[in-house]
Amino acid sequence: MSRFLNWLRDGVGFDILLVGAALLFLVALAGAPLIYNVLMSFQQVDMFTLGVLFRPFVGFDNYVAVVRQPEFWLVTRNTLIFVFGSMTGQFVLGFALALFFAQNFPGASTIRGLFLVSWVMPGLVVGAIWSWILAGDFGVLNVILKSLGIIQSNIFWKSDPNFSIWAVIIANIWLGLAFNMLLLSVGLAAIPKDLYEAAELDGANAFQRFWTITLPMMRPTIGAVLSLGLIGTLQQFDLFPALTEGGPANTSNVAGFWSWQLSFQLYDFAKGATVSVMMFLLVLFASVVYVRSTRHEVRG
């Protein structure tokens, strides 16, 4: 017994204990639910069988039923628009800001750091603020756009079917932009300065320097940022209940929020689980890209 205790205290046992506790917790509360989710997608899970341990299996019925839902393709399309729109906005604006703040001027890193407040705010508060900014009648964004002459009449961001998904995208770009900028700034700072000096001596202009030095040197960082952006966008949930609730008529609904609605508003837990399994496959793809890009980062 005391040998065992010594092994725990002084040997590898101590490490196994430390990792084991965390892994056990994660297996119980993340691994097991994940597998349970797949199981549920093949079962009949409704209000009556919710508390039952052994539920009837229904094969692929849930999958067939989900694909046959009238909103399925709309939600799929919205998810792609949401992911693509959010990522493009976050990345392009984040990169532009990162390049700007990479210049040498007083206060650069402090001001850049301030941008990150958007990232630590509760998603629901961010949604609430943007809900007011994007309001159709009295929202300040419409006032600004009109005074700049960009639009002639008010856009009803949240209730116009053509704009509702963009209302959530705009809020999500604001939310994720700072984190993109921060990671890209780290990548920029790691590029050796003498490369630029040499290129400048050779007569390369700013665009050529960006194209031949910055972009190639940033490739691993860009890979990591894009895949983190994809993962973060797929994880976004809080903005939907705060802004549009997926409406009007599901024109701003995406897979994550739809899955939750199926389970917790329609109590169709089987379909909810089925949609989340589909979504997990999408996330799995994104994370394989992420792990591959971070590998390069560590070795490079």
Rule CB under 8 A: which of 50-69 touch other proteins? Answer: 50-51, 53
| Pair 173, 239: CB distance under 8 Å | no
Taking CB under 8 A as the binding criterion, the range among 65-73, 75-83, 124-132, 207-215 that sits at the site for other proteins is 124-132
Between CA 106 and CA 3 the distance in angstroms is 60
Note whether 30 binds other proteins by CB under 8 A: yes
- Judged by CB under 8 A, which of 1, 2, 3, 10 binds other proteins? 10
DSSP state, 50?
T
- Judged by CB under 8 A, which of 104, 152, 193, 194 binds other proteins? 104
CB of 297 to other proteins, least distance (A): 6
Compute how many residues bind other proteins; rule: CB under 8 A. 112
Note whether 25 binds other proteins by CB under 8 A: yes
Give 166-235 as a DSSP string.
HHHHHHHHHHHHHHHHHHHHHHHHTS-HHHHHHHHHTT--HHHHIIIIIHHHHHHHHHHHHHHHHHHHHH
Between CA 240 and CA 78 the distance in angstroms is 12
- Judged by CB under 8 A, which of 2, 15, 70, 149 binds other proteins? 15
Q: Which position has the token pair 């196994």?
A: 16
Note whether 107 binds other proteins by CB under 8 A: yes
Closest alpha carbon to 259 in 247, 249, 268: 268
Taking CB under 8 A as the binding criterion, the range among 72-80, 100-108, 194-202, 203-211 that sits at the site for other proteins is 100-108
CB of 9 to other proteins, least distance (A): 5
Between CA 80 and CA 282 the distance in angstroms is 11
Taking CB under 8 A as the binding criterion, the range among 60-68, 74-82, 173-181, 195-203 that sits at the site for other proteins is 173-181
Amino acid at 206: A
Taking CB under 8 A as the binding criterion, the range among 62-70, 74-82, 199-207, 274-282 that sits at the site for other proteins is 274-282
Note whether 160 binds other proteins by CB under 8 A: no
Note whether 91 binds other proteins by CB under 8 A: no
Beta bridge partners of 57: 43
- Judged by CB under 8 A, which of 183, 218, 250, 251 binds other proteins? 183
Burial bucket for residue 136 (CB in 10 Å: 0-12, 13-18, 19+): middle
What is the token pair recorded at 21?
């506790």
Site string for other proteins, 222-251 (x = CB under 8 A): --x---x--x--xx-xx--xxxxx-xx---
Q: Which of residues 196-215 bind other proteins (CB under 8 A)?
A: none
- When the beta carbons of 155 and 242 are compared against other proteins, the nearer one is 242
Q: How many Cα atoms occupy the beta-carbon half-sphere of 54 within 13 Å?
A: 0
Taking CB under 8 A as the binding criterion, the range among 78-86, 135-143, 192-200, 203-211 that sits at the site for other proteins is 135-143
- Judged by CB under 8 A, which of 65, 99, 129, 195 binds other proteins? 129
Q: Nearest 5°: phi and psi at 137?
A: -80, -45
